[in-house]
């Protein structure tokens, strides 16, 4: 009976400890809706760690005193899974944040989102990057407020030490040569010329963007040069080997912030992350930004990116308010609100860019500014109901090429074969 | 132990089987079961049956399900990835079940004695179980590292020139995962065996010793038969958990390289909640359920025959 | 209340869990005295070997845990380095103070504790009740029902989680502790484990109690329950650990941050593009502590409980 007594004590203790018991102990109880205020719920991921949401909501609440925004905080890792489950249960969250375009296509094609052409028509369509991605046969079900694209981060001190110039107008060949030159080993510690993170986009999305390739087509010849480049770098030891990076869960932040790599192609989301680390004294890397390397040196910059958007739930409790919020967030006010904290807004105009470069700790040299305004930003992955399945296959085959189990040629053929047989011909 | 699952247990009312008594028994039996059964029925059994029903339908979770008959199963049988995942799952189970069992038994024999500080060792056995999976994956992947990992350095030192690529190679990733999972699970099952061992009376060993049996013979003729009920329990639980393996694989290799460590429950997750093909994912889970059930019933029958 | 059980236990020819498979008559008893000294010497050498083997083994089992502790004392960008770094260049003890303010860790611990304790109590209570019905009372349909229980263990949760969620949503139970309690307190595992244990308790014991005029409920409460302390403890322990470490269940059912558990709190350090592994490891080390305490308390019972539930009746 001792055990049961113990359990009873524990129960009493925890009920006491739990204070509010059933209501949950982590944080204050939810405040009741205030008189005359509408509570607009918005699904977000990792609310604490993703400051753009708070920046947007605070600014919107300040501009619209009769609206109270309630974030529905969901863990980033499994965000789409939780949203899918909630929606299946008929959830009435008003605004749904679309983490990527693949999920968007699934929700939109299954009639889970409201059409918001009325909102999109009022936006500055020409300057809203990534808007095209949300066009499904002339209908829009979401509007982007944020657009991340890829550029090249580099470590100015390592460049200086090697006596090379800043990475201006690089072609891929020059990039490879530079990476090899920047690779050094001292005291058993290697500093790599560049670091390619394990994501397939590092190779596939950039070659699709620069070759006008379609990653849902089933023909992947356009990946070839990029794979050869990456494998050459890996073979010469100018970048961390893929197998190691994958199995050790290597953090790209660690690679760059501890000065283990001189260059690193990465998305713009890292700008605010790096600036924060630098401000907190957690890194002393002297950083610079440059455009992604290109096929030719004609000075035109093509990169790829991925928009993040807000959509209105079909079952929303406050549809009209939700639409108003989206119109604001995708407009200039919303763009300025997130620019202030170093997040790249979808709306690109001079006023917004100026606001952005006011951020403390940003590199202000000309090359960094140029990197920030690419000539063309292709979509990371096309919007289609096939994208999720294709993505999975491309990931698997990417692994095999990068660990050296398949030759580039065989790997590309296998991708095509599998995508055609498992996805396109279904 | 579990032999009675199907055989009727010794009845409360043996010999007095009149109808009134039977009805009374049914009533009493149900009152005992009811509190748990109501919860089980409502929150587990009904959803499970619903999932099985979904395997004959097409459902995106956003709209009403549509009856499609056997189309999901047909698609499954034609899918290359399904067969790869099925093969991987079976290979994983074939490696994981006997290895974990053997090592758990070995450990249990080691720890089945009065020894100062034995409690500490027994607790230590559980550390793999409560260590964060990320830590497990990072450290084991480091050990398996093809060039610099201690495992391959050891293999090189004993003259194996072509050491395996482990988690960076399609052929060796699954064995690497199996090794890690055996390492992680053996402590748990060791406790089951340890317990079983403690229940074997020492008289049996002494008698065997007097009869001149060697240590091996004692193990084979006393330990193994006495442990049969425990072994059966371990095999059933291990089989179920091997066929459902998910977390460790996701964290350690995420199914790669390629599809070399993709398992069925991963497929169920990706196709279902990942891509919204709930009918298809239910079909796969129905197959998984049937496989595990068949294996369990088979083991059950073998066990029953041995007991006779 | 326990007196009766103790009496019956004394009367019983053997205690559950120490029953012999071979009848006692076949095992000749002999005096051990003359051989004790050689044995002891042999045993001592054996112990020595055993200690060294165990020491190596324990290190082998602890390595990832050691890395986890080491990582919890690093700056975040020093955790996932290549090559792996075992000793932090600089010990960042502040991780252990920061985590309580970075996330409402105390609240998460309370929530986890609340859930784990309630679920464990309910699981043990309803599981042992149902197990009695499944093992000691005979009625038609019993075994089919029991097979249905076991069968569900083989179905991966990923397969039926959405239908289950929809049901819960319609009952208005999502985003509350009640949903999780209802889902996890009535699992098949407890019934299975307890039933196997009850099978080992001789029916003669129940018969004797019946003759003494006890009702079936009385037998369960006053004879079987006190006898099954070890099994109850082991079930409680396993349920506690499983509930404490569960991630997917709380993730799907607990939406409000106020309701989050430790495991959810730790995952909140994983962002869209990167993760704060130093904080995750710090939290993981902290979250092991309650399990260790429970384990150390229940350790003796735990070993015994499994012993008897693993034996045939």
User: Quick check: A63 contacting C, CB < 8 Å?
Assistant: no
Q: Note whether C134 and C264 are same-domain residues.
A: yes
Q: Note whether C247 and C191 are same-domain residues.
A: yes
Q: Residue C23 pLDDT > 90, yes or no?
A: no
C3 occurs within a structural domain: no
Among A263, A261, A285, A265, residue whose Cα is nearest residue A274: A285
User: Quick check: A249 contacting B, CB < 8 Å?
Assistant: yes
Instruction: With beta carbons less than 8 A apart as the criterion, state whether B1 and B232 touch.
Output: yes
Q: Examine residue C83 and say whether the peptide bond preceding it is cis (omega within 30 degrees of 0).
A: yes
C86 occurs within a structural domain: no
CATH of region A149-303+380-423, choose from 3.40.190.10, 3.60.9.10, 3.10.110.10, 3.60.21.10: 3.40.190.10
Q: Note whether C48 and C179 are same-domain residues.
A: no
Query: Hey, are the CB atoms on B258 and A400 less than 8 Å from each other?
Result: yes
Q: Residue C35 pLDDT > 50, yes or no?
A: yes
Q: What is the reported pLDDT for C3?
A: 39
- Reported as type and span, the H/E element at residue A192 is strand A189-194
Average pLDDT of every residue of chain C: 78
Q: What is the reported pLDDT for A144?
A: 93
CA distance C182 to C190: 14
Query: Residue A41, Cβ neighbours under 10 Å: how many?
Result: 21
Question: Would you tell me the crossing angle of helices C105-136 and C188-200 to the nearest 10 degrees?
Answer: 50
**Beta-sheet pairing, A302-312 with A142-155:** antiparallel
Q: Note whether C61 and C177 are same-domain residues.
A: no
β-strand partners of A302: A376
**Which fold, A6-148+306-374?**
D-Maltodextrin-Binding Protein; domain 2 (3.40.190)
Domain containing residue C271: CATH number: 1.10.3720.10
Among B158, C111, B29, C212, residue whose Cα is nearest residue A15: C111
CA distance A142 to A16: 46
Query: Residue A4, Cβ neighbours under 10 Å: how many?
Result: 17
* Ranges of CATH 3.40.190.10 domains, chain A: 6-148+306-374, 149-303+380-423
Q: Note whether C131 and C258 are same-domain residues.
A: yes
Instruction: With beta carbons less than 8 A apart as the criterion, state whether A48 and A76 touch.
Output: no
Instruction: With beta carbons less than 8 A apart as the criterion, state whether A344 and A267 touch.
Output: no
The more confident residue out of B161 and C262 is: C262
**Beta-sheet pairing, A189-194 with A261-267:** parallel
Q: What is the reported pLDDT for C305?
A: 40
Q: Note whether C57 and C158 are same-domain residues.
A: no
How far does the CA of residue A1 sit from the closest CA of chain C (Å)?
7
Helix (H, G, I), strand (E, B) or coil at B59: coil
Cα angle at A234 between A229 and A237, to 5 degrees?
Answer: 130
Query: Residue C1, Cβ neighbours under 10 Å: how many?
Result: 9
Average pLDDT over residues C175-186: 88
C29 occurs within a structural domain: no
CA distance A309 to A142: 6
Least trusted range by pLDDT, from A139-148, B192-201, B222-231, C211-220: B192-201
Task: Look at chain C and report how many structural domains it folds into.
Answer: 2
CA distance C247 to A75: 11
Range of the domain at C65: 38-71
Q: What is the reported pLDDT for C8?
A: 39
Q: What is the reported pLDDT for B284?
A: 93
Q: Residue C11 pLDDT > 70, yes or no?
A: no
- C-alpha of C259 from chain center: 23
Look up residue C11 and give its two tokens: 């009367």
Instruction: With beta carbons less than 8 A apart as the criterion, state whether C310 and C196 touch.
Output: yes
Q: Note whether C63 and C169 are same-domain residues.
A: no
Which chain C residue shows the shortest CA-CA distance from B292?
C154
* Facing C82 at nearest CB: one of A90, A99, A240: A240
Q: How many helices (H) and strands (E) does chain B have?
A: 16, 2
Which chain B residue shows the shortest CA-CA distance from A107?
B62
Cα angle at A201 between A195 and A203, to 5 degrees?
Answer: 65
What does DSSP assign to residue A341?
T
Q: Note whether C161 and C286 are same-domain residues.
A: yes
Q: What is the reported pLDDT for C200?
A: 65
In chain C, residues 89-118 whose CB comes closer than 8 Å to chain B: none
Average pLDDT of every residue of chain B: 83
* Facing C54 at nearest CB: one of B121, B285, B292: B121
CA distances from A61 to A37, A57, A317, A406 (A): 11, 6, 18, 54
Report chain C residues whose CB lies below 8 A from the CB of A72: 255
CA distance A378 to A306: 8
Report chain B residues whose CB lies below 8 A from the CB of C67: 135, 138-139
Among A114, A105, A110, residue whose Cα is nearest residue A133: A105
Q: Residue C300 pLDDT > 90, yes or no?
A: no
Q: Note whether C121 and C186 are same-domain residues.
A: yes
pLDDT tens column, C140-176 = 888 778 877 878 888 888 888 888 998 888 888 888 8
pLDDT band at B11 (very low <50, low <70, confident <90, very high): very low
pLDDT tens column, B285-301 = 999 989 888 887 787 67
Q: Examine residue A117 and say whether the peptide bond preceding it is cis (omega within 30 degrees of 0).
A: no
C21 occurs within a structural domain: no
* Weakly modelled stretches of chain A, pLDDT under 50: 1-3, 12, 14, 16-21
Q: What is the reported pLDDT for A180?
A: 93
Interface B–C counts its CB contacts (< 8 A) at 295
Among A158, A194, A162, A163, residue whose Cα is nearest residue A179: A194
Q: What is the reported pLDDT for C301?
A: 63
Q: Note whether C153 and C289 are same-domain residues.
A: yes
Q: Note whether C183 and C266 are same-domain residues.
A: yes
* Facing B195 at nearest CB: one of C130, C142, C303: C303
User: Chain B interface residues facing chain A, Cβ-Cβ under 8 Å?
Assistant: 60-63, 79-81, 134, 137-138, 141-142, 144-146, 165, 167-170, 253, 255-259, 270, 273-276
pLDDT tens column, A293-305 = 999 888 889 999 9
How far does the CA of residue B160 sit from the closest CA of chain A (Å)?
21
Q: How many helices (H) and strands (E) does chain C have?
A: 15, 0
Instruction: With beta carbons less than 8 A apart as the criterion, state whether B284 and B267 touch.
Output: yes
Q: Concatenate the DSSP letters of all residues of A253-267 into one string.
A: HHHHHTT-EEEEEEE
User: Quick check: A66 contacting B, CB < 8 Å?
Assistant: no
Query: Hey, are the CB atoms on C132 and B32 less than 8 Å from each other?
Result: yes
Q: Note whether C130 and C263 are same-domain residues.
A: yes
Chains touching chain A at 3 or more Cβ pairs under 8 angstroms? B, C
Q: What is the reported pLDDT for B1?
A: 34
- Calculate the CA dihedral of residues B272, B278, B283, B287 and round it to 10 degrees: 30
User: Quick check: A52 contacting C, CB < 8 Å?
Assistant: no
Query: Hey, are the CB atoms on A27 and C169 less than 8 Å from each other?
Result: no
Residue C15's contacts (CB-CB under 8 Å, 6 or more residues apart) are C9
Average pLDDT over residues B33-50: 88
């Amino acid at each position: 009976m001792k055990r049961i007594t113990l359990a009873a004590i524990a129960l009493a203790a925890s009920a006491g400890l739990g204070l509010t018991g059933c209501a949950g102990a982590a944080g204050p109880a939810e405040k009741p809706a205030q008189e005359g205020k509408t509570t607009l719920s918005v699904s977000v991921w990792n609310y604490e760690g993703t400051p753009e949401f708070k920046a947007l909501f605070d600014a919107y609440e300040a501009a619209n005193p009769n609206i109270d925004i309630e974030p529905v905080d969901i863990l980033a890792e499994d965000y789409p899974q939780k949203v899918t489950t909630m929606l299946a249960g008929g959830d009435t969250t008003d605004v749904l944040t679309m983490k990527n375009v693949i999920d968007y296509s699934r929700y939109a094609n299954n009639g889970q989102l409201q059409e918001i052409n009325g909102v999109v028509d009022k936006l500055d369509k020409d300057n809203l990057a990534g808007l095209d991605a949300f066009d499904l046969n002339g209908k829009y079900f979401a509007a982007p407020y944020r657009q991340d694209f890829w550029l090249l981060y580099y470590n100015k001190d390592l460049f200086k030490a090697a006596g090379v110039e800043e990475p201006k107008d690089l072609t891929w060949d020059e990039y490879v040569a530079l990476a090899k030159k920047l690779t050094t080993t001292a005291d058993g510690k290697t500093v790599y010329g560049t670091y390619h993170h394990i994501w397939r986009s590092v190779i596939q999305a950039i070659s699709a963007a620069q070759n006008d390739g379609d990653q849902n087509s089933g023909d992947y010849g356009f990946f070839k040069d990029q794979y050869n480049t990456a494998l050459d770098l890996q073979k010469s030891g100018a970048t961390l080997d893929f197998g190691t990076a994958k199995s050790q869960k290597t953090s790209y932040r660690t690679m760059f912030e501890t000065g283990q790599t001189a260059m690193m192609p990465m998305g713009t989301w890292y700008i605010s992350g790096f600036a924060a680390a630098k401000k907190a004294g957690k890194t002393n890397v002297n950083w610079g930004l440059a455009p992604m390397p290109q096929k030719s040196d004609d000075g035109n910059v093509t990169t790829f990116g991925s928009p993040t958007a807000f959509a209105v739930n079909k079952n929303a409790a406050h549809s009209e308010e939700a639409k108003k919020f989206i119109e604001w967030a995708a407009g200039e006010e919303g763009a300025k609100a997130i620019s202030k904290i170093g997040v790249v807004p979808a709306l690109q105009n001079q006023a917004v860019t100026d606001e952005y470069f006011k951020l403390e700790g940003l590199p202000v040299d000309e090359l960094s500014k140029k990197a920030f305004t690419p000539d063309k930003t292709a979509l990371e992955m096309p919007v289609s109901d096939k994208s999720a399945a294709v993505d999975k296959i491309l990931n698997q085959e990417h692994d095999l090429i990068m660990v050296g189990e398949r030759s580039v040629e065989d790997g590309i053929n296998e991708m095509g074969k599998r995508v055609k047989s498992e996805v396109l011909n279904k | 132990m579990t032999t009675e699952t199907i055989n009727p247990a010794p009845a409360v009312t043996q010999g007095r089987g009149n109808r009134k008594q039977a009805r009374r028994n049914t009533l009493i039996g149900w009152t005992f079961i009811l509190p748990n059964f109501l919860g089980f029925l409502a929150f587990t059994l009904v959803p499970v049956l619903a999932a099985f029903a979904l395997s004959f339908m097409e459902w995106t979770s956003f709209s009403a399900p549509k009856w499609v008959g056997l189309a999901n199963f047909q698609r499954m049988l034609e899918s290359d990835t399904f067969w790869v995942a099925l093969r991987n799952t079976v290979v994983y189970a074939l490696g994981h079940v006997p290895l974990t069992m053997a090592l758990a038994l070995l450990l249990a024999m080691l720890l089945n004695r009065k020894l100062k500080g034995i409690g500490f060792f027994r607790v230590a056995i559980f550390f793999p179980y409560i260590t964060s999976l990320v830590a497990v994956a990072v450290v084991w992947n480091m050990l398996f590292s093809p060039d610099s990992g201690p495992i391959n350095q050891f293999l090189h030192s004993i003259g194996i020139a072509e050491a395996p690529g482990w988690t960076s190679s399609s052929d060796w990733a699954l064995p690497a995962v199996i090794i890690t999972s055996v390492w992680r699970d053996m402590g748990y099952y060791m406790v089951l065996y340890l317990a079983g061992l403690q229940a074997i009376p020492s008289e049996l060993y002494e008698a065997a010793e007097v009869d001149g049996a060697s240590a091996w013979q004692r193990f084979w003729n006393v330990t193994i038969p006495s442990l049969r009920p425990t072994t059966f329990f371990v095999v059933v639980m291990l089989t179920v958990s091997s066929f459902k393996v998910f977390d460790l694989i996701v964290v350690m290799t995420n199914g790669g390289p390629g599809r070399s460590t993709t398992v069925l429950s991963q497929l169920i997750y990706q196709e279902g909640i990942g891509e919204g093909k709930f009918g298809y994912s239910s079909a796969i889970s129905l197959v998984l359920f049937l496989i595990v059930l068949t294996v369990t019933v088979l083991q059950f029958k073998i066990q029953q025959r041995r007991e006779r | 209340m326990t007196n009766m059980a103790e009496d019956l236990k004394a009367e019983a020819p053997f205690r559950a869990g120490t029953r012999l498979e071979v009848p006692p008559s076949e095992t000749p008893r002999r005096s051990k005295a003359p051989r004790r000294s050689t044995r002891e010497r042999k045993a001592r050498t054996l112990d020595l070997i055993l200690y060294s083997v165990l020491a190596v083994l324990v290190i082998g089992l602890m390595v990832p845990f050691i890395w986890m502790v080491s990582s919890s004392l690093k700056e975040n960008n020093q955790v996932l380095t290549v090559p792996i770094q075992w000793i932090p260049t600089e010990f960042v003890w502040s991780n252990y103070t920061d985590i309580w303010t970075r996330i409402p860790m105390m609240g998460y611990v309370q929530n986890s504790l609340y859930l784990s304790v309630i679920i464990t109590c309910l699981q043990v209570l309803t599981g042992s009740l149902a197990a009695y019905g499944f093992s000691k009372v005979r009625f038609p349909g019993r075994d089919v029902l029991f097979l249905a229980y076991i069968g569900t263990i083989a179905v991966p949760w990923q397969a039926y989680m959405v239908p289950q969620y929809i049901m819960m949503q319609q009952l208005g139970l999502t985003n509350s502790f009640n949903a999780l309690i209802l889902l996890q307190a009535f699992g098949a595992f407890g019934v299975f484990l307890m039933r196997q244990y009850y099978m080992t308790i001789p029916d003669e014991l129940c018969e004797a109690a019946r003759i003494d005029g006890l009702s079936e409920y009385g037998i369960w409460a006053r004879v079987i329950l006190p006898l099954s302390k070890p099994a109850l403890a082991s079930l409680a322990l396993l349920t506690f650990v499983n509930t404490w470490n569960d991630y997917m269940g709380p993730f799907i059912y607990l939406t409000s941050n106020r309701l989050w558990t430790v495991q959810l709190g730790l995952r909140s350090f994983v962002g869209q593009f990167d993760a704060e592994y130093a904080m995750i490891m710090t939290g993981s080390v902290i979250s092991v502590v309650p399990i260790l305490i429970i384990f150390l308390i229940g350790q003796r019972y735990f070993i015994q409980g499994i012993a008897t539930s693993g034996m045939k009746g």
